[in-house]
């Protein structure tokens, strides 16, 4: 499968990012599915998104990940479809999904690193996003 044949829009790229984040540690937990759905329903960036597209976009990304080069192919699709002004938003969404379980595995941290590089995000901005997500998800 050639990743150049895959195209999506900005909403699709954001969904791909969240699916990648949720599958990076080996599977999608129920809490991650709930968090992903909640973000799509309530975040302003998804205000014009057709919720009926969520299952097909999720399955498309999961299908792409079956390829031996699936992560790279998915990252290429994301890079092509996501406008520069939404790259930090995409990274923040990935961090939110990863924070759902209360900790980040090595695989999840590696995905964040790949995403930072693919989206050409500065280390300082990425660290600020990570700090905000960590602060927002703390519990007593």
Q: Where are the domains of the chain?
A: 3-136
Mean pLDDT of the chain: 90
Q: How far apart are CA 110 and CA 91, in angstroms?
A: 13
What's domain 3-136's architecture?
A: Orthogonal Bundle (1.10)
- Give the Cα separation of 23 and 32 in Å (integer): 9
DSSP state of 84: G
Cα separation of 106 and 129, whole Å? 18
pTM for this one?
0.91
- 37-59 pLDDT, tens digit per residue, is 999 999 999 999 999 999 999 99
Task: Give Cα 99 to chain centroid, integer Å.
Answer: 12
């Amino acid at each position: 499968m050639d990743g150049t044949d895959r195209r999506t829009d900005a909403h699709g790229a954001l969904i791909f990012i969240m699916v990648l984040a949720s599958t990076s540690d080996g599977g999608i937990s129920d809490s991650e599915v709930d968090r992903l759905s909640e973000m799509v329903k309530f975040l302003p960036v998804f205000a014009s998104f057709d919720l009926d597209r969520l299952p097909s976009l999720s399955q498309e990304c999961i299908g792409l990940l079956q390829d031996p080069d699936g992560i790279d192919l998915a990252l290429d699709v994301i890079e092509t479809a996501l406008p520069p002004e939404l790259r930090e938003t995409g990274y923040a969404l990935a961090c939110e999904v990863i924070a759902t379980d209360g900790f980040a595995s090595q695989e999840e941290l590696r995905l964040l690193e790949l995403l930072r590089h693919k989206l050409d995000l500065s280390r300082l901005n990425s660290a600020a996003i990570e700090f905000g997500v960590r602060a927002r998800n703390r519990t007593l």
